[in-house]
Amino acid sequence: MTKLSKVWIAVACLLPALTTVAGQLTQAEFTSQAKQKAMQLGKTLKMNLQAAVKEGGLTNGVNVCKDIAPAVAAELSTDGWQVGRTALKVRNPSNQPDSWEQTSLMTMVKGLEEGLKPGSLTQVSMDDEAGQYRFMAPIMTDSLCLNCHGAELAPAVQAEINQQYPHDQATGFAAGDLRGAFTVTYNSEE
């Protein structure tokens, strides 16, 4: 064997290792990190929401949601990660689902109708070639949410929402309904 071909074998052996570095995460590692980010966003939002409602009432809560939700999502969106929330019926038009998110949300609705547990309805999509991983987890409606997403809102809350979100679609929910989903994307190229 020539010296040159030995070098080529060494390079060829290194390539898969380099590819793994570029792709970075296995599906299990990706899913565990994505889950953690979704949970962090959910926890932080709920804490802020409860504090805001306690301090200044629900109309205050609307404004806190408006400022805090995008800020917390942005804080978690580093190093190739993109974290946010989406829904089939959105309050903020910038949370509109793309086609994969829409299909995933519909899969969640169907699963819930079939009696599956929300925790079993997370959705994952992997595109190794593009280096993109996507994850979604359902967000369920509970009684706190009904104050701002229920069928009947207090007039002051409704007025505040009308003013801030003239195209709001996110009312009329009942406890136990799917309200939306956390959506987490990782791009290895970024």
Please tell me whether residue 60 adopts helix, strand or coil conformation: helix
**Residue 7 structure tokens:** 């070098």
Spatial CB neighbours of 158, under 8 Å, sequence gap ≥ 6: none
Nearer to ligand HEC, 23 or 177 (CB): 177
Compute how many residues bind ligand HEC; rule: CB under 6 A. Answer: 26
Give the x-and-dash track for 76-115 against ligand HEC (CB under 6 A): ---------x-x--xxx--x--------------------
Nearer to ligand HEC, 23 or 57 (CB): 57
Residues 130-169 binding ligand HEC (CB under 6 A) are: 139, 141-142, 144-145, 147-149
Q: What is the dihedral of CA 144, 150, 155, 161, to 10 degrees?
A: 90
Residue type, position 14, single letter: L
Among 46, 51, 130, 163, binds ligand HEC (CB under 6 A): 46
Task: Kindly tell me the burial class for residue 105, based on how many C-beta atoms sit within 10 Å of its own C-beta (0-12, 13-18, 19 or more).
Answer: buried
- Least gap, CB of 120 to ligand HEC (angstroms): 18
How far, in Å, CA of 22 to CA of 188, rounded?
7
> Which residues of this chain interact with ligand HEC, rule CB under 6 A?
46, 49, 58, 61-62, 65-66, 69-70, 85, 87, 90-92, 95, 139, 141-142, 144-145, 147-149, 170, 179-180
